[in-house]
Amino acid sequence: MTVIPVPFMTPEPSRDGVDAMRGAVLLEFGINECPHCQRVQPLIADAMTRHPGVRHLRIEDGKGRRLGRTFAVKLWPALIFMKDGQEVARVVRPTTQSEVDAGFMAL
């Protein structure tokens, strides 16, 4: 099955904007060319079908991208799970469905 990922946000939101978001939010930091980011897409897609109330924001990261720095993102993909503007879980470079699901369970 081919998974078409959620498009990257352009431009990226501000940190204040992210912190002001209400409800459950998944911030996914990475880039299209990252093989780790590509491999995790089916895992995220599967989890999102079971958690339709979670807002998923895909944020392109890298040089000149400020939002990732405010979250101290160093490796991709970095999945940051937020509830009402507060980080509640973080999963970095997940390789299994259970790792991705663990982040959703914190919401």
Question: Model's pTM, two decimal places?
Answer: 0.94
pLDDT of residue 78 exceeding 80: yes
pLDDT of residue 6: 78
Determine the Cα–Cα distance for residues 107 and 103; give it in Å rounded to an integer. 7
Instruction: Please name the amino acid found at residue 79.
Output: L
Q: Which domains does the chain have, with CATH numbers?
A: 15-105 (3.40.30.10)
pLDDT, tens digit, for every residue of 8-34? 888 899 999 999 999 999 999 999 999
* Kind and range of the H or E run holding 59: strand 55-60
